[in-house]
Structure 1
């Protein structure tokens, strides 16, 4: 089975044939999330990673040993308490909020997001996944239904989280078949589950899938391999995470600078100062560059690039800067400064994939606020094109959306937005919808351009 898995995984790894050198510089930091159903062991896995990689301080260990909400037997450390920080989480033994943890090995730095498994908290999983380079899909081996006829029934949450990972364009998917100790480390059980998941992943369109067997509670195959699964010849989980390639391509993307604030002096200076403050979401900019102001379409020239320490000759994605322009133009919050080459599309009608995050169903008669980068405008969902069935991956008509539904929709906007396809630039291809009455976030969307 290992040969089959390796063969399938290699097919998933083969993309357009682009050589790594042509894809940009490899980034040492890896952002990843854990996702799965309830009690699959996500928090315990992260705790095990931190504990075995020496990423826990002594005072944290002491606090865990004295915690009143322990869920393990005897003197065993309850590793899940490292991420379940809310009192309600510890009391109920569930993860509610997204918990971020940081650790490093000699080879790499990591940012982990532990996301909830409950269906009602899927919106929190979407939040954690939106900036992830990789996702660990945990599958509790004891929950998977294995039929005598050879059938394997994966949990709905496993399929839902995998679908979201695909929609959000997460590059790497690690399938961690957890709690192997509960089935006496049976390779046959593992092989059947992996084969079923790879079949689903092929149907879904996931490309880089890496299966691995482990026991987070016992620590088998997490940081150290142990001797319980000699049939697994692959790397441990930490070795796999250290080996994942993450290329920073955002420097080569066209320049995108949503204006967050217009800065002026107090009005008593002789020289007029007008700077445009914000964060560079894609590409890079240098003094003298020609830019376009969207949505007005006016041209501008970069006069200076300021940060707290002073002036810069150039700046790149991720930096928060103040841009000074040679021209006096009407630019305000919500406008976007972009490169002349490959400017974004101006859209008043938006086609998007939408994850509905509210317990109140979508009402097509209502207006919502659409928040895209720094711009907010009124929006109405004009139609639901298709609703995605998580289990079959088939699309069908629908008249409304309820909590956790995923659908292709069309929206009309009151004001045009400068946007890219989510497949091209995440930051300017994503948006959220806000209820105009409650001010709650009701949906997350990914713009699709034909």
Structure 2
């Protein structure tokens, strides 16, 4: 029997399923939860917010040709871009395509957004499967939803990346309470322990009190369903894996009933973002400012490393905040400064295991920054050859001319050590 009302609400309940990193089962959670809600009679739209790794339809064994990007390009309608899954679930691939609206004329953008806003009202729930990471489009996808479900796993890097995601959201002005879903847990005890650690870290460092949405157990059936491209929410009602997502759907309904209803939906939010970006002055950050930021951050990181009470999560947050601040400022003038700054970080002060941990996250964060392509340099006109001045083979500033140093070494008394002699010649500068 249908559990949805006779008519869809004025604004659908919008949920963003997100996480700080990839490989945490976020897409599997989004798809199975959307199917579980649809099986209960709700009208559900699932937006695939990751255009680069659009896996939602692949998990169903389908490869649609059209996406929201085609709608925005005017080559198809919203109805044509919709892919219909079992139990009446609607899937719209390429939700990240709304970013393309930023560059079109305001009148065209408004027409597209009005069409999307009208389309939203046909649904009880809209689920957004966001991309992983800290990019701007991910932050906006989360902000456009009434509720964010942050997926974490027992992997410690999943916790630190989720912590960084929530920290960035807070810095951007996000004030809603995030819900946390523990995925791939062995049992209820492990899930509660993971949530408690995450809860304590958010409370202590960000003054955030997360909501516990539930847990999905690690199960061979769930892993096999991904390989077979058949989600567990298509299984029989008695299947234990499907029952987990049915319970999660019930928990989600309870959580939405506790929230204040949103006055606007997905399309209205993105239209406001486009208007703000169009009216905001474009400010170019000078290279000297970038260099000063690197210097400030380097000092902060070094202080954290040397402080006996500092934790790895504090050190990682310093690294993450640096990338968040600088990721949007990379250009031809600043990329060399940033690369030089990375090379000068005091990584050698960290223990070996922690250094490897930092290196892994550094690669993860660096992948999110797309440096500008450099145009091939034109061949320079032949220049007049200059006489090459040979570089000194040792430090002439401190030791003087080579002949003088050799003469002093030959005349060195037997009762004077070499270190003492060098200190005498350099005025004590040889050991600096």
TM-score (norm 2): 0.39
Over alpha carbons, which structure has the higher Rg? 2
TM-score (norm 1): 0.38
